[in-house]
Amino acid sequence: MIPLEHFLTLSGILFSLGLFGVLARRNAVLILMSIELMLNAVNINLVAFSAYLVSTEFVGQVFALFVIVVAAAEVGLALSIIIAIYRSRATSNVDEVDLMKW
């Protein structure tokens, strides 16, 4: 049997990778991919808890499903925003999109 902590460690590593990507990348699409990594890490956590912890319900799997739904909506919207920005400013570099920066 694989210990629960190993699944959690995997999700911790994956979340940190996503965090690094969000903070270090400049391309908006790459930042979005890193966010997907973080969401997947959270999902691994939820599903692992649902399988391993004392509970009569399987809330973890239902939550993971909702996370996937929200991720799909988020990707669709974010990509359309990226396309709109690219159309008006000819860049997908988030450092150059600073009109609202104080």
Partner 1 sequence: MTGAQFLFYALGLATVMGGLGVVLSRNVVHSALALLLSLIAVAGIYVLLYAEFLALVQVLIYGGAIVILLLFVLMLTRSGESPLVLDNPQKPVALVVSLLFMAIAIVSFFLTRWKLAQAPRGVDFSVLGGSLFQDWVLPFEVASLVLLVALMGAIIIARESPQ
- 3-32 binders of partner 1 (CB under 8 A): 4-10, 12-21, 23-27, 29-30, 32
Closest CA to 61 of 49, 73, 72: 49
Instruction: Select 88 or 102, whichever has its Cβ closest to partner 1.
Output: 88
Least CB distance to partner 1 at residue 19 (A): 4
CA distance 5 to 29: 32
> Counting contacts by CB under 8 A, is residue 35 touching partner 1?
no
Backbone φ and ψ for 26, nearest 5 degrees, come out as -110, -25
> Counting contacts by CB under 8 A, is residue 89 touching partner 1?
no
DSSP secondary structure letter of residue 99: T
Least CB distance to partner 1 at residue 26 (A): 5
39 to 68, contacts with partner 1 by CB under 8 A?
40, 43-44, 47-48, 50-55, 57-58, 61-62, 64-66, 68
CA distance 94 to 92: 6
Binding residues with partner 1: total (CB under 8 A): 72
List the structure tokens of 48. 């692992």
